[in-house]
Amino acid sequence: MNVFFVRDCVNPDDAVYIDGQWYCTLGSCYAAACGEVTVPENLSEPCFDCEDDGTNCIEFGGVTDETSALSQAVHFTLFVGSLSSQCGEGLIAYASACYIDDITDRPLAGFMNICPFGLNLDRERLLSTVQHEIFHALGFSHSLYALYRDEDGNPLTPREANGYPPVDPVSGLFLWSSRVIQELTLDWDYVGGTTQRTVQALVTPNIVREARAHFGCPTLMGLEIEDGGGAGTALAHFEKRIMATESMNGYLTPTRVFSRMTLALMEDTGWYIPDYEMADIMNWGKDLGCDFVQKSCKNWIDQKTNAGLSIAPWCNVPFETTCHAEGVDVAYCSFYQYFNGVPTIYQDMNQMYNALFEALVT
């Protein structure tokens, strides 16, 4: 598939269209870009720089015969950079699609930026991060949800007269339909009472099938997505509470896996056919039932404690060690002190451990 990148005129108002070709009448063309990464000259369409009357046109750059032949076998192009301009505190990497197919909306190209700090990660964590970001560029992104299609190639989100989904005037993102993400209401226990909590969940058919099978919850309506973190984390990852060791949650952890649910979401884009045999086995949450995936950590902890059972995968003994959920490392029970108070819905422990924690670390 030929995918070559358009280069705009320095001043778009001075572009003219002559015999099926756009020409820049003043100055030259900008270099094509994919996100923050400059596209190489040999992957860009040629630039035609002309006089104001459209004469004396000079062609600059453009695709070579070699890259044209190579592009026939390429289905997706990924541009990679390591720039610090958008790297805030704690940000390791980010990625997005930058060029989509006019007919199917499938991403044809994307970019990934690994923040300079991220290059200091050990090999396994860096590899996991790169894989994670590639999935974002391929389709696991809130900028692409509204472009997903069903198995017959029909858009899951209705299109407007211009052929695109409606746009959120605040975020600038396409608005997805309830066939992709729905708002679910969960009964939620916390220290001091019970409330109802509203979450966003992926409800596409393959993700629902795989989530039901994994958690052992046949009535699960959708797989919850992350509501915490900044704009680059919320809504663009699986919820960490229920997918703590999955590579597509929003937080870097020592041991991560790409489960069948990640591959299911790729299938639900309508653009890919995954090989589920290549999925990693994920033990976190496996066959723990509807209460684990649909209710709070406190509900789970209380149920198991009252029944005299282990509260795993949760813990309540600071620094207690055990086998990691994925069986490849030693895990320990970590507690953190919050000086500004823990939000009500996240208050899961009936006892306060601040004093104990302070005693252990002093």
Is 214 annotated for ligand binding?
A: no
Is 324 annotated as a binding-site member?
no
Cβ neighbour number for residue 182 with a 10 Å cutoff: 15
Q: Is 132 annotated as a binding residue?
A: yes
Query: What count of Cα atoms within 13 Å lies in the side-chain half-sphere of residue 99?
Result: 22
- Active-site annotation holds for 133: yes
Tokens of 24: 């820049």
Residue 193 pairs in a beta bridge with: 190
Treating both helix axes as pointing N-terminal to C-terminal, what angle do 260-268 and 123-138 enclose, rounded to 10 degrees? 20
Contact 324, 255 (CB under 8 A): yes
Catalytic residue among 133, 210, 224, 326, which?
133
Kindly provide the b/e burial profile for residues 251-280, where b requires at least 16 CB atoms within 10 angstroms of the residue's own CB.
ebeebbbbbbbbbbbbbbbbbeeeeeeebe
Active centre residues (catalytic): 133
Provide the annotated binding site. 132, 136, 237
Provide the annotated binding site for Zn(2+). 132, 136, 237
